[in-house]
A and B are shown apart, each in its own frame.
Chain A
Amino acid sequence: MERRNFFRITSLAGGGLLLGTYLPFSCTTVDESIVDWEPNFFIRIGSDNTITFICSQSELGQGTSTGLAMVAADELGVSMDKLKLEFGPGSSERYGYLQDTGGSNGLRMVWQSLREAMATTRGILVQAAAQKWNVAPEECYCEDGHIHRKDLNEKLPFGAVLDIASTLQAPREIQLKEPSEFKYIGKPVKGVKTKWATAGTTPYSINTKLPDMVYAAIERCPVWGGELVSFDGSKALEIPGVVDVMEVEPTELQQEDYRGGVRPGVAVLATSTWAAFEGKKALEIQWEMGKNGLKSNDDIRKELEADYQTKSEVVANLYDAEKLFPRGRKYISGTYDSPFQVNACMEPLNATAYHQGHKLEIWAGTQAPQLTRERIAELTGLPEAAIKVNNQPSGGGFGRRFFCDYVEEAVILSEKLRKPVKVTWSREDTFLTSKYHPLCKDYWEAALDANNFPVSIRYRGSINRPGAYRCYPYSIPFMSHSYLKYKEGRLLPRASWRSVFAHPWGLGMECFMDELAHNAGKDPLQFRLEVLKNAEIQEQKQWPWVGSDLYPKKLHNTLELVKEKSSWGRLRTNGIFQGVSAMCYNGSYCSMVADISVREGKIQVHKFTAVIDCGLAINPSQVKGQIEGSIMWGLTALLKTPITVKEGVVQESNYDSYDLLRMQEAPDVEVHIVETQDTPSGTGEVGVPGVAPAVLNAIFAATGKRIRQLPVTEELLMV
């Protein structure tokens, strides 16, 4: 059904997100009986009382669409059951430059603006009803999608006042609701996405079907940096359903590596996904593998080791660490190794594009709808206004869908064909020719005083400017050197991977803290409490999207709680031992304790107890879900085969060779949430980096063995 729209401009109090955005009048009238009012880019109210929340941020399973819908429902006065869900297209005109969803920023970035926009909308609706009833606005309030009159038992549905509402000025002052008035915020609520997923109706982009659409699969160069020499598609063309075979020219990886990096490839175009996949198998291709064709992951590791031997400068120096470091009476060090990893999202990468010459439409599950639109404009020469990015829920993103190479491929093919083209990656493609969490090598050293207490810590490793992210919370003086570099280029292109740099960072920091504690003869949890107690708040000066200032006290608090909840330190039977970790990431804090046992080289993880401070927990069920999932993610990295490279080629091609944690291995998980009214921060990643160190520290408690590399193998445990 086409609906008539009338829009208005709403200005927000407090310099909100929507200030200075202007809406066009749209008059594509068909059904005159239903009129839509869109007072801002978050909400659409129909005269038939349909109320639709338009989610600006991406939904990848982390639950942001539900969390934000709850905020909208509470602030506007609508029942969650009545709120429909849509996703806003990628648009900096609509949402400022705050739409791209990564770094656990989904709620954090828009929650305040959304509240203000909804409070404004509520204010207008109240005014409209007041005008209709000829009473003062103070006599009215919104609840359950209706404006109620206080003095009489009378109410009007929102849809009944749109004719007046659409002519009104936004109120100068808006009233945000008090926490005591929240009906949903702070409670475990199930949103539209849960309904979709249980019914199997989530509109993932892999379901896209358009008239005249071509199904495509691409065979990409197996070595990063290699080139296409020649190909023969004749056998592929014999496969029933295959209609064409053509080259896909690569795009250069850009400085900001979310853009570009399409590999050289050969596309098979067909009448079904399966025919395209079958055709792909029948291609005969000659590649020139280039320099990387001679390299393996061990070569990369050696390059990092070699760089460690070269001179470097200190780029962060907390509490005068640089001066104190040489004064140590003794020194200890630990070197931590973490391998390449892949996101392995359950929904393979895919995108559909329809290039019509003067305009272009894209259907994709992307974490970066704005960045994608910008990049496609750059790639095609079309103005951004001619490009529509329909952002759809993703079957997992974990950072990989922040990179838009898979959308670029669909655009490149559709530009040639001038037809809608859906490119679906086979599962093998997502392992063999994707972008990857980089291999890291991290050196931690500490200067100790006469009592073996650390007086200064030095970090030199693969992580670029860890200080900029405010991820070192302790009061022990700390310095960081410029990061280790490879000799030339990358062996594999980089992708963000759930918790990004924090994973190798957490592995090093939290294992090393454990080593320092044991070395000083202290209980590792108590030791952390001690060196958090007097640590200073660190101001976040750069990149607001990565979070706010670091409050060591909050981390201290989560540790105190996890100590209690996990019964830390109490005598355990059945060979169960505990390990602890504490992490801060982009404004959130999480401490965890792992209960494990080791028998004959086999490790069993029995239980995780975690405490998170993520500010006000909008939806506790989802917060807990994110920590539960983060633990399974961390355990996969800890226990399962990573990505390995031989002669430039990734060796893991499907879930048989890159296994994920399975049901039988999934430990019990207990999550506790710190109760606070602080501004909400993120929950999708803070739980990941502490998992491996908590287990590794427990392995030390159980066996006396210090394992400083991932994954943990039977071999390592038996040595």
Chain B
Amino acid sequence: MINGKPHSVEAPDTMPLLWALRDLLDFNGTKYGCGKGLCGACTVHVNGEAVRSCVTPISSLQNKEITTIEGADGNTLLKTVQEAWYDEDVPQCGYCQSGQIMNAAAFLSKNKNPDDDAINTAMNGNLCRCGTYVRVRRAIKKAAEKINGEQGSEN
């Protein structure tokens, strides 16, 4: 399942999810950065957990729920993070930002009220050559505020 819809591919078992998404299924939002799980540009969610798709073979994903950056519709948390990213004008070249956003969303699903240290630790594996870190930090705080605000108003 990718973004709530079933998909199947014909490919060798060892093919990483990244390349199945990009070359076979046309989900181009997920990016190739390093191929070794070092930079975080390829981050997606598998059953809600942030996973590096460049080192995740497709054989390990049968009947799993995969969410990519394209899956924000119907995923309130992901949508909120994207909006915060937009509001804070985070991206420069934007290439690492799908991975940054996916990682931040998975992090916020576990830590609803993070401080700077927690954000720094959680995002430390997502590299950005343009150097947008200051704004990534701001955007995560903004998204957290928004999430907490919305939950507060429901209570």
Contact = CB atoms under 8 A, between A and B. Distances in A.
Interface in A613-640: 621-622, 625-626, 628-633
A191 to B, nearest CB: 9
Interface residues on B, range: 35 or more
Interface in A420-458: 424, 426-428
A461 interface: no
B26 to A, nearest CB: 7
Interface string A35-70: 000000000000000000000000011110000000
B72 A621 contact: no
A272 B91 contact: no
Contacts of A348: 32-33
Given A272-B23, A654-B34, A664 B121 contact: yes
Contacts of A660: 127-129
A664 B92 contact: no
Interface in B68-98: 68-70, 72, 82-83, 85-86, 89-98
A277 interface: yes
B36 interface: yes
Given A395-B94, A625-B89, A346 B41 contact: yes
B119 interface: yes
A493 to B, nearest CB: 21
Contact of A394 (B33, B93, B136): B93
Nearest to A201: B29
B120 interface: yes
22 contacts: A190-B86, A195-B86, A197-B97, A198-B82, A198-B94, A199-B70, A200-B28, A200-B68, A200-B101, A206-B31, A206-B32, A240-B12, A343-B129, A346-B33, A346-B39, A424-B32, A427-B32, A427-B36, A632-B133, A663-B123, A664-B124, A666-B134
A677 interface: no
B38 interface: yes
B100 to A, nearest CB: 10
A426 B35 CA distance: 8
A232 interface: no
A61 B91 contact: yes
Interface in A240-277: 240-241, 272-274, 277
Given A194-B89, A346-B128, A202 B94 contact: yes
A399 to B, nearest CB: 12
Contact of A346 (B120, B121, B127): B127
Nearest to A625: B92
Given A193-B91, A664-B124, 19 more contacts: A61-B94, A188-B89, A197-B94, A198-B82, A199-B29, A201-B28, A345-B129, A346-B39, A346-B96, A347-B95, A395-B95, A427-B32, A625-B135, A654-B36, A662-B127, A662-B133, A663-B120, A663-B123, A666-B120
A329 interface: no
A589 interface: no
Contacts of A181: none
A629 B19 contact: no
A346 B29 contact: no
State the 10 A-B residue pairs at the shortest beta-carbon distance, nearest first. Answer: A632-B131, A200-B29, A61-B93, A197-B94, A395-B95, A200-B69, A197-B91, A629-B131, A61-B92, A274-B19
A198 B124 contact: no
Nearest to B70: A200
B61 interface: no
A323 interface: no
Contact of B119 (A188, A625, A656, A663): A663
Contact of B35 (A63, A204, A277, A625): A277
Q: Residue among A347, A395, A396, A428 with the most chain B CB within 10 A?
A: A395
Interface string B111-132: 0000000011101111111111
A97 interface: no
A621 B134 contact: no
B95 A630 contact: no
Interface in B13-37: 15-16, 18-19, 22-24, 26, 28-36
A348 B93 CA distance: 13
Contacts of B28: 200-201, 204, 207
B34 A347 contact: no
B31 A346 contact: yes
- Find the residue from B22, B28, B136 having the highest chain A CB count within 10 A: B28
A683 B89 CA distance: 17
B95 A396 contact: yes
A661 B15 CA distance: 30
A344 interface: yes
A179 B12 CA distance: 60
A188 B89 CA distance: 9
Contacts of B29: 199-201
B16 A274 contact: yes
B131 A633 contact: yes
A143 to B, nearest CB: 25
A207 to B, nearest CB: 4
B137 interface: yes
Interface in A171-223: 188, 190, 193-202, 204, 206-207, 209, 215
Interface in A663-700: 663-664, 666, 668-669
Contacts of A395: 31, 93-96
B38 A655 contact: yes
A393 B32 CA distance: 16
B27 to A, nearest CB: 9
A616 to B, nearest CB: 19
A656 B130 contact: no
B131 A661 contact: yes
Given A204-B95, A272-B23, A662 B124 contact: yes
Contacts of B124: 662-664
B31 A347 contact: yes
B92 to A, nearest CB: 4
Given A274-B16, A347-B95, A396 B129 contact: yes
A61 B130 contact: yes
B37 to A, nearest CB: 10
A630 B131 contact: yes
Given A396-B129, A625-B89, A199 B33 contact: no
Contacts of A669: 134
Contacts of B120: 663-664, 666
Interface string A271-286: 0111001000000000
Nearest to A209: B26
Given A206-B32, A632-B131, A655-B127, A198 B93 contact: no
A557 B32 CA distance: 44
A202 B97 CA distance: 11
B96 to A, nearest CB: 5
Given A628-B134, A656-B38, A199 B72 contact: yes
Interface string B26-70: 101111111110110100000000000000000000000000111
Contacts of A202: 94-95
Contacts of B19: 272-274
Nearest to B33: A346
Contact of B132 (A193, A209, A629, A662): A629
A198 B78 CA distance: 11
